[in-house]
Structure 1
């Protein structure tokens, strides 16, 4: 099971970070960042298969591929912003982490505008005149 491997890597890195933190805090931080990246790359294949399934479902249901791509980009922004904010928080920079999260939320809103517009137009068309 993949989760056991992921937890194992996380626990091992945590123990090493705790040991390094006192003597070499910079290396401890770099190890935390590296561990996060390793875990992300480990999951990349799973993410790819989920995207393929969603694209197939969208194709079969006749959904405009632009909408699916936009939604996947929005999800990507959310995950990247959260990952970046967590790394910055680990470095003790709460204010910068908050700005990263705010930036992610604003970018999500900007990307969602075309989808929101289509939804509103559809609802208006359904309303009796």
Structure 2
């Protein structure tokens, strides 16, 4: 069970960080960052499997792949922005974390414009003239 490994790594990291934080705060931060990246890399295979299933479903449902890829990019931006903001927040830089989150939200909005446009066009076609 992968979750036990992830939680175990998280608990071990927490204990180590609590031990070395007083003496070497930079090493504690690096340990936290390394652990976060390790967990993220561990999950990449799982994420890849989910994306493959979604692509297969989109093909079966005859959905334009551009829309699916855009939605997956939006989800990716959200996860990466959150991950980056959390690491920066762990370093005590709340204002920088807020800027990362803002940038993620703006990029998501920009990526969503084509999908929103198609939805509006579809609704306009359904309305009587």
How far apart, CA to CA, are the structure 2 residues paired with 1:123 and 1:57? 24
> Which residue in 2 is equivalent to 1:101?
101
Give the TM-score taking structure 2 as reference length.
Answer: 0.99
Alignment partners' CA distance in 2, 1:22 and 1:73: 40
Match of 2:3 in 1: 3
Within 2, Cα distance between the matches of 1:97 and 1:75?
18
Structure 2: segments with no counterpart, 5+ residues: none
* Cα shift at 1:12: 0.3
In the other structure, the counterpart of 1:12 is 12
Q: Partners of 1:70 and 1:41 in 2: how far apart?
A: 22
Corresponding residue number in structure 1 for 2:72 = 72
Distance in 1 (CA, whole Å) between partners of 2:7 and 2:78 is 23
1:128, distance to aligned residue in structure 2 (A)? 1.1
The alignment covers a number of residue pairs equal to: 129
1:42 aligns with 2:42: yes
* Cα distance in 2 between the residues matched to 1:8 and 1:41: 16
Q: Any runs of at least 4 consecutive aligned residues in structure 1 with deviations exceeding 4 A, and if so which?
A: none
- TM-score normalised per structure 1: 0.99
| Whole-Å separation in 2 of the counterparts to 1:122 and 1:35 | 46
Partner Cα separation in structure 2 for residue 44 and residue 81 of structure 1: 16
1:79-114 CA deviation, whole Å, 9 max, x = no partner? 000000000000000000000000000000000000
Return 5+ residue gaps in structure 1 as ranges. none
Alignment RMSD, CA only? Answer: 0.4
C-alpha distance after superposition, 1:57-96 (max 9, x if no partner): 0011111000000000000000000000000000000000
Listed one character per residue, the Cα deviations across residues 37-66 of structure 1 (whole Å, up to 9, x for unaligned) are 010111111100000000000011111000
